[in-house]
Chain A
Amino acid sequence: AQSVAQPEDQVNVAEGNPLTVKCTYSVSGNPYLFWYVQYPNRGLQFLLKYITGDNLVKGSYGFEAEFNKSQTSFHLKKPSALVSDSALYFCAVRDQRTGSQGNLIFGKGTKLSVKP
């Protein structure tokens, strides 16, 4: 089955500390992985993606993600969190099933709270 799991409903960090938002996936074939962020009362915004190549992917707003094939993970990271990073974060994987390649399968989301 094709799926994405975000094991933490909420992550709390202090401003200036590093943050990690976890994501694991299950997909047949090579994974195409994405991270999106949703600020309150807004739509989802693209942060970064992994298609192929370097396992460390850099994206918008200083975020990066590390692809780990053996652990089937794609964790989102940032070296120093800002209060303005507080938002809902979604991991997604491209559906590889025949006829469904256009679809992204989303995790349930992780609420990131950064305190001053």
Chain B
Amino acid sequence: EAQVTQNPRYLITVTGKKLTVTCSQNMNHEYMSWYRQDPGLGLRQIYYSMNVEVTDKGDVPEGYKVSRKEKRNFPLILESPSPNQTSLYFCASSLRGRGYGYTFGSGTRLTVV
């Protein structure tokens, strides 16, 4: 089944403890992206990648890192999480080209205490 897989689905962590949220797609998509969803703010883009080894900042990149060493994987790294990073995170992927929509993962609900 064609899908984007995120892990974990739920995570509670403490301030300052490094964590990684994994994202993997099996559709050979070139483009991948991370969003966070907060009430009243909609979806805000954190980072995106147009292809392997090509990443760029979105609208809210502060406090996050990404890497794209393989086409299928695009992990999101929080080096020192803070409570304001408590949010619902989504990974998405698509083929390159303006006519293609995204396929989204099921989301990761992160709580930083």
- A→B interface (CB under 8 Å): 32, 34, 36, 41-46, 49, 51, 90, 94, 96, 99, 101-104, 106-109
Contacts and interface: CB of A to CB of B under 8 A. Distances in A.
Interface string B11-46: 000000000000000000001010100001111010
B104 A107 contact: no
B74 interface: no
Interface residues of B, number: 26
Contacts, number: 55
B67 interface: no
Interface of B: 4, 31, 33, 35, 40-43, 45, 48, 50, 56, 58, 90, 92, 94, 96, 98-99, 101-107
A90 B99 contact: no
Contact of A103 (B48, B103, B104): B48
Contact of A32 (B99, B103, B106): B99
Contacts of B98: 32, 51, 94, 96, 101
A8 to B, nearest CB: 13
